[in-house]
Chains A and B, each alone.
Chain A
């Protein structure tokens, strides 16, 4: 601090500190705390505030699991949505990884530099376009009488149009498209740093293509895989627009449940509790990935 005063003088330093305080405390830290504190409240009317019912409770958290009976395989609605969000996001993450890996490897290690640079620019263009528009494009493509069904029918792959948008399939297809590039770039960056000689050496020593990837390229690309998976999973789990546009009432996402508790049921404490659970899910996933891939926070920040 003393250094700052010497360098910028009193007025400027105080102004800087005040501005930073407004941001860090009033816009970041306090809102988090207030949200968490709020999630332990009951949803009370104004007249009940301060009364005997106004105490801290775990009810809002427990309500996610209420009605769940594992032995009978019965789950509450909210819990089912929560589970769907987890496996759906995990599926999107895995599909993104599988789709991106060959492209990232090609761009990083096979393509001549000029072509790689050109293809990278091509990749970035859809990335600049708003997520809503990218999702909307699939809404048109996957419509019952839409171009995809028309094409598949003309080619003879299907006999009758497929209802793409009535199951979780549409949501997963849309999310894969929307978040693909968040997997591509970490993967590309990680593979790019691999010395080509290592691949050559493995090949000279008789390793098959499969083995070269499994034993040389993928271990080297681990930090990229971890970062890509973290980005895609967190984006998918907290996405609202993709399930909103491409889902149906039977394929709701946890973000939609949270939205409903806030603005349709007006139960803000429960909405806050669910929001905190969603945040917990994302943090848990990040920790698991870091442990699994043995990468640190500094690798992620890169």
Chain B
């Protein structure tokens, strides 16, 4: 098969594009292993692992990491229950009230992060609460709850209401029906939204920047290190974060696909049961 001129051009362009996409990250990672005090790959001054040691010995980094983990866990604690409640409430409202409330609820997803940070800072300052990690948690949660709400709502719409009705008819209290019937159905969505909430919080910069007070999270630490006190130890941190990100992304994707496959299998089984009476209609 021969390529025409424009096809060849397109292929070359694609090659260049993917190099452009990955070369910066590869170079950044490679610079971790260079002895040079400024992170670079040219000139190469010999391979070393000393920058990992420097990173390991950096107490500020550990404190920032601890802050980020605490904030991420706190965001899960705040966002997941509220997100579930908001999704259930929205699901049960009439159409008109629903579309209005829905617009308000997803608006934080379209608002720039710096503005969420600023409005959170001013609002709580007026109530006498100063900036700090706690305020960063509140600011981040205000838009992370929207993600949780959307994920739970999607799952909620696949719920068979008759199961709940049956539980109530058989004498379960509302609380029991919720705990034993609805909650187990929502569990996969709750679990994946908790994971997402943690990552969103962990990598947040814009909202945290304005609400953090004097507390330092890992992203704040990373950014300030680049501007003041840049050594390849920063690259080492970047490399570690990239490794965790990729492993996390793969794990998340595998879980999501397994869940999707299970749902598809259940759907197929239901369809099969339904079409048993009239076979061979959709042979192809």
Chain A bound to chain B: yes
Cα-based distance from A171 to B226 in the complex (angstroms): 15
Give 1 or 0 for each of B80-118: 1 = CB within 8 Å of chain A CB.
011001101100111000000100111110111111101
Q: CB-defined interface of A122-139 with B at 8 Å, one 1/0 digit per residue?
A: 111110111111101111
Residue of B nearest to A239 (CB): B206
Contact with B along A25-38 (1 / 0, CB 8 A): 00111111011001
| Whole-angstrom distance between the Cβ of B97 and the nearest chain A Cβ | 8
Task: Decide: A133 and B126 in contact? CB cutoff 8 A.
Answer: no
Interface string of B211-251 (1 = CB under 8 A from A): 00000000100110011000000110010011001101100
Q: Which residues of B contact A240 (CB under 8 A)?
A: 114, 205-206, 209
Given A132-B205, A133-B241: A23 touches B145 (CB 8 Å cut-off): yes
- B157 at the A/B interface (Cβ < 8 Å)? no
Stretch at the interface among A52-60, A76-84, A274-282: A274-282
Cβ contact within 8 Å between B27 and A35:
no
Q: Identify the B interface with A (CB < 8 A).
A: 6, 10, 13-14, 17-18, 20-25, 27-28, 31, 38-42, 81-82, 85-86, 88-89, 92-94, 101, 104-108, 110-116, 118-123, 125-126, 138, 141-142, 145, 164, 173-175, 178, 203, 205-206, 209-210, 219, 222-223, 226-227, 234-235, 238, 241-242, 245-246, 248-249
Question: What is the chain A residue whose CB lies nearest that of B88?
Answer: A16
**Please, which residue of chain A has its CB at the minimum distance from the CB of B142?**
A27
Question: CB distance B245 to A4 under 8 Å?
Answer: no
Main secondary structure of the interface of A (DSSP, over half): helix
Q: Give the CA-CA distance A128 to B245 in the complex, in Å.
A: 7
On chain A, the number of residues with a Cβ less than 8 Å from chain B's Cβ atoms is 79
Taking CB atoms, residues of chain B closer than 8 Å to A143 are 38, 40
Q: Which residues of A contact B (CB under 8 A)?
A: 1, 3-4, 7-9, 11-12, 15-17, 19-20, 22-24, 27-32, 34-35, 38, 99, 102-103, 106, 110, 119, 122-126, 128-134, 136-141, 143, 145-147, 150-151, 177, 180, 209, 234-235, 237-241, 244-245, 255, 258-259, 262, 268, 271-272, 275, 278-279, 282, 301
- List the A side residues contacting B116 at CB < 8 Å: 31
Residues of chain A within 8 A of B40, CB atoms compared: 140, 143, 145-147
